[in-house]
């Protein structure tokens, strides 16, 4: 199939920009929205943990169905997810005071937005195998730029006009996403795998135990990743509280999110060149060290300058982890395990969020900011040690 690299990369970039713009309004400002609706820090933690637990269970389940081939494809799952989030956002606009209903709807759309992230990644590699020339690193980096630009404007706007603006923005973004996904398709959009790949699905994707037996180093690194994202989610989900403790507000939250997101662009855009020199597994361990340094800085922070310095380590932490993990899965796993592998990475992120949400809000309400950040630092350090162990452990297709 003859394809235009610029055209396919532009289409995939638009999907990423819209995804991470919505990620900003839904995830980065979740606490802002929920606080405006009367939720306490502990209640916010429980809501986000519930959403993350559901997402962690839902992602591998859906990935297993997609990997087997059939009606549910990456593209269709993304389309259904965007339509569901759009519907949920409209409902949140109509309901402003019923906390149990807000809890259910917000948890649902928060969960689904996480759940279709691995399908977004898998869609790129699936289309590449069909002949669609997509520059993944650039598209993913520009997705982070979409997050950054959204955050730069939304923080001040929310401070001036209220948190309802967040769900309005999410609804608009999801409407654009639905249209974009609908038209982003090759000539055979719903054909996931070739006949021989489909045959491999039965043998290599039989069950969870078999999957982890095939990829022991990856399994160990998933445990490390949970620790990394315990710390990462602690910062992101309770960033407004951290910033207020340092003397800032929603405007500074917007600037802080902009800074960390815009720094992701150069790293993700150039990751293809970096991977020619350094293996994905080594980059993953390097990113874990950066996650640790990022939260450790906040333990000793005394003003907003240190918050911004901490956010600069996003350049080496999240910005390296996300593309490196995507390439690691693509390079080391069988075709029939591709979506599942991407889903387990995202599940590690969400499971880290589960523990962070359950613990962070309670610590913050009862003991304060510094004990919460110290807890995150200790857990992240354990993750770094686990990652080093994973680096030495042989995998089925080589060493991680």
- pLDDT by residue for the chain (400 residues), tens only, comes to 445 657 888 899 999 999 999 988 988 888 889 988 888 888 888 888 888 888 878 877 887 788 777 788 888 999 999 999 999 999 999 887 788 999 999 999 999 988 888 888 888 878 887 878 888 778 888 888 888 888 878 878 888 888 889 999 999 999 999 999 998 887 654 444 433 333 333 334 445 676 777 777 788 888 999 999 999 989 988 888 899 888 888 788 888 888 877 887 788 878 778 888 888 888 888 999 999 999 999 999 988 999 999 999 988 998 899 888 888 777 777 777 777 777 788 778 878 888 887 888 888 888 988 999 999 999 999 999 998 887 665 455 544 4
Name the pTM for this structure.
0.69
- The pLDDT score that the predictor gives to residue 118 is 80
Cα separation, 137 vs 74, whole angstroms: 19
b (16+ CB within 10 A) / e for 181-209: beebebeeeeebbeeebbebbeebbeeee
Answer whether 227's CB lies under 8 Å from 386's CB.
yes
Kindly state whether residue 201 falls inside one of the protein's structural domains: no
Q: Collapsing DSSP states into helix, strand and coil, what is residue 185?
A: coil
- The pLDDT score that the predictor gives to residue 188 is 56
Cα separation, 321 vs 285, whole angstroms: 8
Kindly list the distances between the CA atom of residue 315 and the CA atoms of 144, 291, 297, 311, 352, in Å, as whole numbers in the listed order: 11, 10, 15, 8, 20
- The pLDDT score that the predictor gives to residue 336 is 73
Question: Measured at the alpha carbon of residue 342, what is the angle toward residues 341 and 346, in degrees to the nearest 5?
Answer: 115
Kindly state whether residue 193 falls inside one of the protein's structural domains: no
Q: Collapsing DSSP states into helix, strand and coil, what is residue 73?
A: coil
Kindly state whether residue 198 falls inside one of the protein's structural domains: no
CATH (domain of 177):
1.20.1250.20
Q: Collapsing DSSP states into helix, strand and coil, what is residue 395?
A: strand
- Residue 394 exposed, middle or buried by CB count within 10 Å (0-12, 13-18, 19+): exposed
Helix locations, 263-337, DSSP H: 264-274, 280-299, 304-312, 318-332
- The pLDDT score that the predictor gives to residue 395 is 54
- The pLDDT score that the predictor gives to residue 194 is 38
Kindly state whether residue 200 falls inside one of the protein's structural domains: no
Q: Residue 362: enclosing H or E segment and its boundaries? A: helix 338-366
| Structure tokens, 244 | 């207020």
Kindly list the distances between the CA atom of residue 379 and the CA atoms of 44, 61, 173, 240, 371, in Å, as whole numbers in the listed order: 21, 28, 35, 21, 12
Q: Collapsing DSSP states into helix, strand and coil, what is residue 398?
A: strand
- The pLDDT score that the predictor gives to residue 152 is 79
Domain range enclosing 45: 5-185+211-399
In 3D space, the residue among 124, 69, 59 whose CA is nearest the CA of residue 340 turns out to be 59
- The pLDDT score that the predictor gives to residue 9 is 86
Kindly state whether residue 238 falls inside one of the protein's structural domains: yes
Q: Collapsing DSSP states into helix, strand and coil, what is residue 317?
A: coil
In 3D space, the residue among 307, 345, 360, 359 whose CA is nearest the CA of residue 222 turns out to be 345
Kindly state whether residue 332 falls inside one of the protein's structural domains: yes
Kindly state whether residue 194 falls inside one of the protein's structural domains: no
Q: How many residues does the chain have?
A: 400
Helix axes 117-129, 5-23, angle to 10 degrees: 180
Task: Tally the domains of the chain.
Answer: 1
- The pLDDT score that the predictor gives to residue 207 is 59
- The pLDDT score that the predictor gives to residue 212 is 72
| Structure tokens, 331 | 């390079």
Kindly state whether residue 192 falls inside one of the protein's structural domains: no
Answer whether 290's CB lies under 8 Å from 313's CB.
yes
């Amino acid at each position: 199939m003859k394809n235009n690299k610029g055209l396919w990369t532009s289409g995939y970039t638009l999907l990423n920009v819209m995804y991470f713009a919505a990620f900003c309004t839904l995830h980065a400002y979740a606490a802002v929205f929920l606080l405006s609706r009367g939720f306490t820090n502990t209640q916010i933690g429980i809501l986000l943990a519930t959403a993350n637990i559901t997402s962690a269970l839902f992602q591998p389940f859906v990935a297993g169905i997609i990997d087997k081939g059939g009606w549910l494809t990456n593209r269709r799952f993304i389309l259904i997810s965007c339509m569901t989030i759009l519907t949920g956002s409209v409902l949140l606009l109509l309901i402003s005071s019923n906390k149990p209903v807000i809890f259910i709807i917000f948890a649902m759309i928060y969960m689904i937005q996480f759940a279709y992230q691995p399908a977004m990644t898998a869609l790129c590699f699936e289309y590449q195998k069909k002949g669609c020339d997509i520059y993944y690193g650039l598209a993913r980096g520009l997705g982070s730029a979409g997050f950054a630009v959204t955050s730069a404007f939304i923080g001040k706007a929310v401070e001036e006009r209220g948190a309802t603006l967040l769900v309005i923005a999410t609804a608009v973004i999801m409407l654009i996403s639905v249209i974009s996904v609908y038209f982003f398709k090759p000539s055979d959009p719903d054909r996931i795998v070739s006949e021989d790949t489909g045959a491999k699905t039965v043998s290599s994707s039989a069950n969870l135990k078999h999957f982890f037996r095939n990829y022991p180093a990856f399994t160990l690194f998933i445990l490390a990743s949970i620790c990394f994202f315990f710390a990462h989610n602690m910062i992101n989900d309770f960033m407004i509280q951290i910033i207020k403790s340092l003397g800032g507000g929603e405007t500074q939250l917007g600037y802080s999110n902009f800074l960390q997101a815009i720094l992701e662009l150069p790293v993700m855009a150039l990751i293809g060149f970096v991977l020619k020199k350094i293996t994905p597994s080594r980059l993953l361990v390097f990113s874990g060290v950066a996650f640790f340094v990022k939260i450790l800085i906040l333990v000793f922070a005394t003003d907003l300058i240190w918050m911004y310095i901490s956010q600069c380590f996003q350049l080496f932490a999240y910005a390296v982890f996300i593309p490196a993990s995507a390439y690691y899965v693509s390079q080391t796993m069988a075709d029939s395990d591709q979506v599942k592998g991407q889903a387990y990475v995202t599940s590690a992120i969400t499971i880290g969020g589960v523990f962070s949400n359950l613990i962070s809000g309670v610590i913050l309400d009862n003991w304060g900011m510094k004990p919460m950040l110290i807890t995150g630092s200790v857990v992240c350090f354990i993750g770094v040690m686990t990652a080093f162990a994973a680096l030495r452990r042989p995998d089925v297709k080589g060493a991680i």
